[in-house]
Structure 1
């Protein structure tokens, strides 16, 4: 679990801090467009690059300002710079989009947050002590279900090598397969109610939310996200990958340092997992989070439900005060009286962060094309990204 944002990946049965490498790519350069990558943003982006990201792109959007900065390269072989409008996999940032759809359906009376998993998916979450009748939609959205994470059971995560990754990367998993993986073991706990406060991040929760959305609406979650979020906001560069292993151009290559390997492996091509299929741009991601906190996607009652959080120290540094709501995290930041709302995402070779102020006025999205799981040197980059976000939104250092 990343110490400063919500994004998770597990390899060999153990969750790793998700940041990127401590190596600077040869021939990397820093640059900015006139009037865009100015001042502190460019300095902060340069620090992320110096901490180890092969390439980094950051975009800050306010009502009166639209600033971007980049550093490093998109391709270590050619030295091609990071594209300004690069597509990238946003990974678990998709969860916030999914939560918006679920809350809209709740607001329309088509489902209730207190509905059990068994109500919509009878017989799916059973065995080894798992009990879908005692897990609510609210538990799933807030990560308080106690269900284990399927990612610990993925073949290429259990044996995390370039060879296993290449062999498995085009495998498109069905949601039912992933739920079966997660329920092979007893749950971490059984929720006491929809208001359960015990918290542990599990991608399985959002596989189930997606399945419930499909059962309720008769449409795929991707269609519901498109119809309810993407089209209304005019997010013309946000797409659902489905089972496609490809990211459109322009894009940066994705690089993963596998444990024990001296050089990175390009991991640009792989089939996305059902709970994290979205591909977007920093501009679109900012537009989404500003619209969300600005009240354009949810009625006040549903937005208030989303912002009802539980303690989630696993999602932050010790003493950071990190909390998790319905598909979004919160933490206090000096300079922002209302704190910062955010969600990050990680896929092989893609690490992203998105954050917004509580009033929706300022948002920042950061994309890096490097991932070194299990390497303590990632901490420096993680810290640099957090400092970038805090400075961009709150003026904090």
Structure 2
């Protein structure tokens, strides 16, 4: 694990990295590398809070699936059922997109996050409806249900559906249904306009281009990412979350809904032979086959200005979460985060 964290520093130019590994008995180990503040050279706080980016999507998916169990949402109902007239655009029709397709990224909806990066960095609040308007300014990418294509727009809409059927803010539903239910003490959904991180944390950095020095972007407004990427957590809380989700104890999801979550489609090029496909997308969760030990891990990665994270658990009870304090902008950096997570999950 320490070697993998050093790779994040030396190969990916992160200033700091931190991780937590949990064994089958729930025992935790924490790791740090680098510095937590470029200017003061303060140490990286063990198990400090970080912005978890798209790992937020798994939390949102859990809430949606709980509402499926309660009969408030149907996975194969159209978006139009819950948000009539809202999801319309260039080749986009909410009548032809299902809730399941939102959660599994098979809707064909366009990505919007590149359009709101400046809003996030310049601490401009964007409501979910404002962010959705940005997304719907783009054309549909493919016909719903015919392909797989990652898009955070799916989770903006999923969050809006949660609010419509519950009559409560998404943040309150995530807090009540997930965070408090399993006792995550250092995880939260930022309030509107909240730009700082509440507890001890390493500073987060961003490189605007390859030759630029990293600049401090710890204080941002993540509202534009909302249901797709706004949350803050710690590595150990993420371990507890994914472990509770997968352990079969039904603290978060009933058996039928967990089965739906774990029903996957391939994420890779369809021309890649099936036996060589490592990544599959479920409902708000990704399965990845770990090459060093052959296990399958279930989790999610996340990137947002300042931070990058990979968190996952295995069916044998292990969990691991790794974060770097530089937004990963390349597939290579995300791969190195995954390899650090794998080092813990495959440890014998």
Q: After TM superposition, is the score higher than 0.5?
A: yes
Q: How much has 1:135 moved relative to structure 2?
A: 0.4
Which one of 86, 91, 96 corresponds to residue 58 of structure 2?
A: 96
Task: Extract structure 1 runs of 4+ deviating beyond 6 A.
Answer: none
Q: Which secondary structure does the structure 2 equivalent of 1:370 belong to?
A: coil
Give 2:344's aligned residue: 392
**Residue by residue, what CA displacement relative to the aligned partner does 1:189-245 show, whole Å, maximum 9, x if unpaired?**
222xxxx25111101000000000000111111111111111111111111112211
Q: Which secondary structure does the structure 2 equivalent of 1:352 belong to?
A: strand
Give 1:21's aligned residue: none
The separation in 2 between residues aligned to 1:152 and 1:264, in whole angstroms, is 19
The separation in 2 between residues aligned to 1:341 and 1:86, in whole angstroms, is 23
Which one of 209, 226, 229 corresponds to residue 178 of structure 2?
A: 229
Q: Would the aligned equivalents of 1:335 and 1:395 in 2 still touch at CA under 8 Å?
A: no
**Residue by residue, what CA displacement relative to the aligned partner does 1:135-161 show, whole Å, maximum 9, x if unpaired?**
01000000001000122332728xxxx
Structure 1: gaps (5+ residues): 1-40, 158-164
Q: Which secondary structure does the structure 2 equivalent of 1:340 belong to?
A: strand
- Larger deviation: 263-272 or 253-262? 253-262
Q: Which secondary structure does the structure 2 equivalent of 1:200 belong to?
A: coil
Which one of 231, 243, 259 corresponds to residue 290 of structure 1?
A: 243
Q: How much has 1:331 moved relative to structure 2?
A: 1.6
Give 1:139's aligned residue: 101
Structure 2: gaps (5+ residues): none
1:80-91 aligned at under 5 Å gives the runs: 80-91=42-53
Whether 2:132 is the aligned partner of 1:156: answer no
Whether 2:44 is the aligned partner of 1:62: answer no
Residues 346 and 109 (structure 1), Cα distance of their counterparts in 2 relative to 1, 3 Å cut: same
Give 2:266's aligned residue: 311
Q: Would the aligned equivalents of 1:47 and 1:384 in 2 still touch at CA under 8 Å?
A: yes
The separation in 2 between residues aligned to 1:217 and 1:385, in whole angstroms, is 36
Whether 2:159 is the aligned partner of 1:210: answer yes
The separation in 1 between residues aligned to 2:114 and 2:339, in whole angstroms, is 30
Q: How much has 1:382 moved relative to structure 2?
A: 3.5
Q: Would the aligned equivalents of 1:334 and 1:394 in 2 still touch at CA under 8 Å?
A: no
The separation in 1 between residues aligned to 2:134 and 2:185, in whole angstroms, is 35
**Residue by residue, what CA displacement relative to the aligned partner does 1:297-323 show, whole Å, maximum 9, x if unpaired?**
111111010001111017xx9944211
Give 1:32's aligned residue: none
Cα RMSD, aligned residues only: 2.1
The separation in 2 between residues aligned to 1:153 and 1:79, in whole angstroms, is 33
The separation in 1 between residues aligned to 2:66 and 2:81, in whole angstroms, is 19
- Larger deviation: 145-154 or 288-297? 145-154
1:1-397 aligned at under 5 Å gives the runs: 41-51=1-11, 52-64=13-25, 65-154=27-116, 156=118, 169-191=122-144, 196=145, 198-243=147-192, 244-259=194-209, 261-272=211-222, 273-275=225-227, 276-295=229-248, 296-313=251-268, 319-334=276-291, 338-359=295-316, 361-371=317-327, 373=329, 379=332, 381-395=333-347
Residues 373 and 303 (structure 1), Cα distance of their counterparts in 2 relative to 1, 3 Å cut: same
Count of aligned pairs: 336
In the superposition, the TM-score normalised over structure 1's length comes to 0.80
In the superposition, the TM-score normalised over structure 2's length comes to 0.91
Q: How much has 1:340 moved relative to structure 2?
A: 1.1
Residues 277 and 190 (structure 1), Cα distance of their counterparts in 2 relative to 1, 3 Å cut: same
Give 1:28's aligned residue: none
Q: Which secondary structure does the structure 2 equivalent of 1:389 belong to?
A: helix
Q: Would the aligned equivalents of 1:336 and 1:357 in 2 still touch at CA under 8 Å?
A: no
